[in-house]
Every structure is written in C-alpha cells, then in structure tokens.
Amino acid sequence: MNHIAGLSHAEVQERQSQGHVNKSDAKLTKSVSRIICENVFTFFNLFNLAIGVCVALVGEYTNLLFLGVIFSNTLIGIAQEIRSKRMVDKLSLMTMPRARVVREGGESEIHFEELVLGDVVKLSAGNQIGADSILLEGAVEANEALLTGESDAILKKAGDELLSGSFIVSGTCFARVIRVGTDNYATALTREAKAHKRFHSKLLDSLNKIIRFASCFVLPIGLLMFFTNYSGTATGLSTAVLTAAAAMIGMLPNGLMLLTSVSLSVGVIKLGRARALVQQLFGIETLSRVDVLCLDKTGTLTEGRMRVERVIELDYSALPVPLEEAMGAFVCAMDDNNATFLAVKDYFCRNGEALEFIDRVPFSSERKYSAAIFTGFTLVMGAPDVLLNNVPGEISAFERDARVILVAKSDARAPEALPGELTPVAALVLEDVIRPDAKQTLEYFASQGVQLKIISGDNPQTVSGVARRAGFAEAEAFIDAQTLETDEALAEAAESYSIFGRVKPAQKRALIKALQKGGHTVAMVGDGVNDVLALREADCSVAMAAGSEAARQIAQLVLLDSNFAVLPGVVNEGRRVVNNITRTASLFLMKTGYSFLLSLLAIAFAFPYPFIPIQLTLIGMFIQAIPSFFLALEPNSERIRGRFFETVLGNFLPSSLVVVLNVAFIQLLAPYANIDPNAVSTLCVMMTGITGLFLLLRVSRPFNRMRAALFALMTVGFFFGAWVLPGYAFFSLGALKVSELMILLGMAAICYPLTYGLARVVKKVNKKRAAL
C-alpha cells in the first residue's frame, strides 16, 4: 500500500482554489462584522438616533445623555457576543475530528474540513469517515448506524463506497475522497433537516410581541404629541420636541432585548467552561422548560464502554494452556474495536505469553463471532446462540440483564467458516459501565418533575437492567417497540412506558411527536445521523460530541465530553435566564406602560407631558439599567412557573397605573395649591422614581445580601442624583417648598398600598382570563 502517493501540494492548492474543499455551508457562529451590524443597526438604535438628532437641532444638548446610555448598551452587547462567539469557536475547533491523509507519499493528520476532492485517506478501526470515499485497497467493516440506525457492521472491499458519518469497526484501508462539503451524504441529510427546522422560544416570542406593540404606537403618538405642544414659536418648538422625544423614549423598552442577549451570552460562556457547546442561544431557555427528556442509555446512563464482570468456567481442561494465557494471546492477535472486544481486551491483555499466531477471523455482526487460529487449536469468541445449538441454563440466566459472550475451542483450522466440534471453555458476562454520576443526574430530573424516556435499539430487558443498575425508578416500565404497530399504540405507550427497546429510527421521531401532542415539551439527546429527524422534531435538541457531525450540526446544544451529567447545569442556566428576565422585564416595561398612558392623556386633555429626556435618564439609570443588570446575572435555579407575559404584566401594570394616577393628581392639584410648572415636573419625577423603587423592592424579594445592598444603593443614588447639587440643574429639577415636600411625603406614603391593591386586582383578572 506504500505505493499510494496521494495528491501533490500543487494539486491540493488547485482543488482549494476551485472550491473542492470539505467545508459545509453551515456556520456555527456569526462573523464579527455581522455581530457589530446586528447590534448597531437595530430598530431601537436608529429610532433613538433620530430622536437625538431632533433634540440636538433645537439646542437641548443636555437632553442627549440618553444616547450615551444607548451607546454604552450597544458596546456591552457587542463585546459580550464576540466573547461568546470566541468561546464557541474555540470549543468547536477543539472537538473537530481529524483525518489521516496521504499527500506527496507521506501521511499526516488534518481536520475534516481541510480534505479536498481526490484526497487519499487512511482508515483503520475506530476512525470516522469524514467525506464520502471509494475504497482503493484493503478491506474493512464499516458501522453505518449513525446514518441508518442499523448497528450491523458492513464488509467493504475495493470499489465499495464509504459514506461520511460512518465508522470503521475493523480492518485498515486506503480510500479516495469522491464527494466533499455539501455533496456528502451525511451533509445532505443534515441540510434537509435544517431546512425544516422549527425553532420556538416562549421568551423570545413574548419579547417580540411587546416590541411590536410598542413599535406600532410610538411614532404616531410622538407626532401627535409634537403637534399638540407646538405653538409656532422657538420656545414652543423646543418644548414640543423635548416632550415628544421624552414620550417616545419612554415608550421604547430600551435595553430589554440587550439584557436578554447579554444574559444568554453569559450562560453560553459559563456552559462552555463546563464543556457544553451552545449553538442556539435560546436553546438554553428551551431545555429549562422541558418536562420530558428522551435519551439512549449509551453515553447517558453508561459510559459507552463495557466491562467483564464475571468469567463462568465451563471446561478449562479443553485448552492446552490456561484460559488467561489463551485469551491474552487472542486479544493481542485481533484488531477489532467494538465495545465488547475492548472490554475483553482490557480484562485479558495483561495475562499470559503470546502463542504462535497463524490467522484471524475478525468479528462481524453477520457472523456474530471472531476467531484466532494458533498452532494446534482455534479459539472462537461469539454469541452463545451462534456457537451452540443448546445454550446451557447457567449462561442464559445472565442474558436477561447482561451481555454474555461464549469462548470455545476447536481443533479445526477454518478461518472463513465456523469451526466444527466446538468445545465451550468459558462464558464471559459483560455489563455496561454505569456512569458514577448517573444516579444523581436521574434523581435531579425526577425531583424537577421531568419524565425520562430511555429509547434504545437494544433488547428492552437489557436496557431495563442497565437502567435499574443506574438507579432509574421506572426501570420496570419497559416495552418492545416492535410490538407498537399503529400510531395509536405508540401514542398510548409514550405516556405509559419509560423504556423503549428495539426502537427503529422512524419511531424515535414518532415518539417525540406523540409526546408533543400530549402537551409535553420534549428534549431529545442523540448522537447519530439516524437521530437527526428526531432532533429536528424535538423542542430542544442535544447531541453528544462523540457522535456524528450531522447530529452535532443540527443540535442546539452539544455535550463536548458526551457527559449527560452536564445537563442539570444547562437547565439551571436556562432557569436563571428565564426567571431573572421575567423578574427584571417589569422594570423596563413600567416606563413603557406609563409613557403610553400619559401620552394619550396629554393628547386628549391638552396638559403638558411631565417629563423631558434627561429626567427619564435619571429614572432609567437607577430603576432599570443598573439594578436589572445585577438581578439578571445572579444565580437562580428555581423551577419556571407561570407564563412570561402574564407574570410581567402583573408586576409592571400596577406601577404604571400608579405613576399615571400620581401625575394626574399633581396636574389637577397644581392650580389650587399654587405649584409652579417647574415644581410640578419635579414632583412628577420624584413620585415616578419612588414608584419605580417600590417596584424594584417587589421584584427583589425575597432579599438576600446582594439584593438588599442593590436596593439600598439605588435608592440613595436616585435621591442623590435628584436632590444633591448639581443634580437640580443637570436633571432640570427645582427645589420644593415645605408645602410641596409635604405633598410628596403624603403621596409617597400611599403609593405602596395603592400599588399593592392594584396588583391584587390585576392578579385576579389574570386568573379569570387563564380560566376561560
């Protein structure tokens, strides 16, 4: 085989220039330029910039401070997203598989994406095929389970095709790449699935509804506000622009989407450090909401390897040497790479001296045995029912919960056919190695009300035995999927059973759809191309890094160490995002609510809008921006309860109504209490800030040290900014007389009880709406 020279460097460069490179069109992360553009050119930023231009044109430069906040928010969003991108790219590169390629007569290792059309690759046991190829020399057995779901190894000889995504089970060969990139079989399957990929995020949907609602009304109301306040003079123009600008700025929930994006990006970085690659931001949220998790036992409950637990003596005397020596020579002679052989090799390889080896018969799923021919005898290892006509009871008793391999001896030398006159020597009892953290992970999901559905192609009794050893409480609730012949039977079984054995690839998707029709939010953990359709159908898709590239590309999350125990951490991160955004969104939307209502009242009753942009900046800084940042990033692993919009509405609407009532009362009282316009504006700003602080108090409970300190600092910061020089002049606030201070104290005293009463009313209304 050494005569194969492969491509020359010139030929490689030519193919690279022609685009015949093994790169798919799927990009895992956005480019830096796209991140910058998407953060800079947003509806919010462009609208705020337009408002800022109008304010600058009338010379009110102090009121442009809100643009500094917008600029800072944009920079934070860009920096955080680029940081997250670099983390994802780094982890993705670390997990990218490599191929052994022959070029210029020498062998070297390159990433799959560096393969070009016509490259010659060397493949041996355990290698994954990175691009569709045709076998040139040698013979191998390929496992195409990740493509087809069938675990049988297929013998491949010269002239046969090797499909990307499959693995070499045994043998060594040289193959030439015949398809690259998007033309690969596995990539085509992935592209088809991605084309129909359905993505759904309750949090994103709710935020988009809020933004669309605000966007529909902000410009018409702003224009009406301007024309209502414009008197035809220079002073009137300045006032009209400032009041219209304040109304529009108030109605826009600036920072809410940014806060959500930053919170998710922080989650991506945290999970990346825990070896979980997040490929879809809102996939973190979706996993936190699931109530059914579908998975295979391999790589989740088990480590994906087996271990010899017991050796049953049948007839050691039939061997010319001790069993340990014979098996030591056997495993050294074979080059198989399946889980069963590796377990036997690990148990016996250190024992005995090598016997004189003559020939071998590698294992295949068609033969179901392997053999090594030594001088004087042949040693055979395989399935008991293949090697024996009648399996002894002492062996079959173990086959319910474990895998049993028979070791037999024959005096015949027959490398291509099953030897005759086999004498059973020993039986090896193998069990899947249970992950040490499997029980803890199962208990976590059980405590969180998440149902587990174990889906496997293995015998359901065997899967049940593994689940029982892992501590799965529903281990006895198993069924053979081959008995589920109708959709109705499958749907009924989906609710009644927890373990499904002998599941075909098409049934995986059907099971998920049945569970979704039953009202469940379903996550799917998969590793093969045969799992792609099921992953696409699931509400949240999780892939193992050790599996196929196709599964990894379509999944929202990839477990880099193929470690199921990472998932609780992902769930907790998702809960942090959803719970904390639900908590802090009301701080932003309070301003949207009262700005919308006050604008309508100002237009309808022709009273002056009570705020200008610089005053909203003071309120926004200490009621929204600073506290929401800290509250959004603190740990929070509580189970998600209620629906986002109803919960947020119940928090912000009472406070928005109280602000409107406060402003209306001050406007009505002003003529009778002889309150000048500057004091009216100051009273309105102070009462709005106090109402916002009461809302911050509500969303911060129950207090811990951080929340208590945050609330205290925001309270001090607001009053310091409003009342300590140069706050008066900078925020266009005036000093209050004693009588006006008494009015402020009286209104502040009834503000919290009034907010609490309105909150109870809104809560009752929400309950009635939910019951309808």
Q: Are 41 and 150 in contact (CB under 8 A)?
A: no
Rounded Cα gap, residues 66 and 621, in angstroms: 10
Please calculate the CA angle 476-404-354 and round it to the nearest 5 degrees. Answer: 150
Q: Are 426 and 314 in contact (CB under 8 A)?
A: yes
Enumerate the H helices of 234-281 as residue ranges: 234-251, 256-273
Q: Are 322 and 316 in contact (CB under 8 A)?
A: yes
- DSSP states of 481-549 as a string? GGG--SHHHHHHHHHH-SEEES--HHHHHHHHHHHHHTT--EEEEE-SGGGHHHHHHSSEEEEETTS-H
**Which candidate, 501, 450, 498, places its Cα nearest to that of 474?**
498
Other Cβ atoms within 10 Å of 690 Cβ, number: 22
Structure token digits, residue 572 = 């907790």
Residue 412: strand, helix, or coil: coil
Instruction: Supply the residues annotated as catalytic.
Output: 296
SS3 content of the chain, % helix, strand, coil (to 5): 55, 15, 30
Rounded Cα gap, residues 746 and 662, in angstroms: 11
For 59, list phi and psi in degrees, rounded to 5: 80, 15
Residue 13: strand, helix, or coil: helix
What contacts 389, CB < 8 A, 6 or more positions away?
none
Q: Are 240 and 226 in contact (CB under 8 A)?
A: yes
What distances in angstroms separate CA 680 from CA 312, 608, 669, 742, one per listed residue? 93, 10, 9, 14
Rounded Cα gap, residues 105 and 7, in angstroms: 8
Helix (H) or strand (E) run with residue 467 in it:
helix 460-469
HSE (CB half, 13 Å, CA atoms) of 126?
A: 8
Rounded Cα gap, residues 401 and 329, in angstroms: 29
- Counting other chains too, the contacts that 748-753 makes at CB distance below 8 Å and 24 or more residues apart are 748/687, 748/690, 751/658, 751/662, 751/687, 751/690, 751/691, 751/694, 752/694
Rounded Cα gap, residues 368 and 267, in angstroms: 47
Helix (H) or strand (E) run with residue 631 in it:
helix 626-633
Over its C-alpha atoms, the chain yields an Rg (Å, rounded) of 34
Q: Are 622 and 560 in contact (CB under 8 A)?
A: no
User: Edge-to-edge, what's the strand order for the sheet holding 357-361?
Assistant: 302-313, 423-434, 403-410, 377-382, 369-374, 357-361
Rounded Cα gap, residues 2 and 542, in angstroms: 42
